[in-house]
């Protein structure tokens, strides 16, 4: 894998610690699963080529999801242990998160949600908080990677 010089400066990736050496390698059920995984979830450089391995992708997701525990007082050691546990769930295919978690984990925005509920006031566009405001909010959600 190539270094950070191949990453677009517009992506805004957060630092992720290296994958612990004792974690298992990722295996795929078949070649199609591997192809889909690389196409959809593995980070790519400005040239469109992968810049992370499947193990790095799984670790990135596991670590940045676990990192939320720090907001509730968890130490970095606790975060790493939680990330290890989550990685194992992923590696053993016991749990897979939604697509926005795979694509948004480790980004500055950190958009991990797929579903959103937006209120809509059907007023034919007369009220500034009406239907067009909802349309704008839906577009902003899509722009940030939500709603996938």
Give residue-wise pLDDT tens across range 37-81. 999 999 998 899 999 999 999 999 999 999 999 999 999 999 999
Q: Is pLDDT larger for residue 44 or for residue 110?
A: 44
Do residues 82 and 74 lie in contact, with contact meaning Cβ atoms separated by under 8 Å?
yes
Q: Is pLDDT larger for residue 77 or for residue 116?
A: 77
Do residues 111 and 144 lie in contact, with contact meaning Cβ atoms separated by under 8 Å?
yes
Answer whether residue 9 shows pLDDT above 60: no
Predicted model pTM = 0.80
With 0-12 / 13-18 / 19 or more C-beta atoms within 10 angstroms meaning exposed / middle / buried, residue 131 is middle
Nearest to 96 by CA among 17, 26, 13: 26
- Residue 138 to residue 145: CA distance in whole angstroms: 11
Specify the range with the lowest mean pLDDT, choosing from 3-12, 102-111, 136-145. 3-12
């Amino acid at each position: 894998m190539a270094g950070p010089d191949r990453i677009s400066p517009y992506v805004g990736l957060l630092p992720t610690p290296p994958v612990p050496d004792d974690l298992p390698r990722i295996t795929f059920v078949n070649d199609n699963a591997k192809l889909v995984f690389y196409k959809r979830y593995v980070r790519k450089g400005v040239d469109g080529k992968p810049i992370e391995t499947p193990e790095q992708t799984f670790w990135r997701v596991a670590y940045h999801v676990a990192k939320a525990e720090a907001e509730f007082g968890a130490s970095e050691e606790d975060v790493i242990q939680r990330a290890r546990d989550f990685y194992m769930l992923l590696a053993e295919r016991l749990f897979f998160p939604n697509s926005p978690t795979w694509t948004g984990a480790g980004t500055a925005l950190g958009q991990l949600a797929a579903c959103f509920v937006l209120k809509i006031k059907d007023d034919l566009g007369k009220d500034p908080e009406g239907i067009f405001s909802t349309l704008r909010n839906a577009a902003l959600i899509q722009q940030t990677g939500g709603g996938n």
